[in-house]
Amino acid sequence: MNRSLRKLREAVRAARLADMPASKVLKALADMPEARAFRLTPDVLRRMLLESLPEQYATFLFDQAGYRVEMSLADLAYFAKHDEILVELVVSIILCLDKE
C-alpha cells in the first residue's frame, strides 16, 4: 500500500468520517492535508468504487461521474459540494478507506 493511501486511511479512521453526514465529510476532506496529498486517478477511483459498492452500481456511478482526470481527493470533495454524483463518489471512497 503506498504511503499517501496509508496516511489517508489512518486520517479517515481517526476523524471517524464514515460516521459523519456527507456534508461534513466533504468539508473535512477538503481541509485534510492527507486528502490533498492523495492523488486520485480514474483507475484508482474505479478500484475503490468496486471495493465498496456492488459492481453494477460502481460501474454506473463511475460512468455517470465522467471522471477522466487525476486530482486530489480534497479537490474532488470540494467539487462534490456542487454535484450529487460526486457526493456519491466521495462517500463511497470513505467507505472503502474505512473498511479492513
Position 96: which residue type? Answer: C
- Rounded alpha-carbon distances, angstroms, from residue 88 to 1, 5, 6, 84: 24, 20, 22, 6
Query: Model pTM?
Result: 0.90
Cα 1 from Cα 84, distance rounded (Å): 30
Q: Which three cell numbers stand for residue 23?
A: 456534508
- Write out pLDDT tens, residues 3-46: 889 999 999 999 999 999 999 999 999 999 999 999 999 999 99
Cα 69 from Cα 13, distance rounded (Å): 26
Average pLDDT, the chain: 93
Give the domain ranges of the chain.
3-98
1 pLDDT band, cuts 50/70/90, is low
Position 42: which residue type? Answer: P
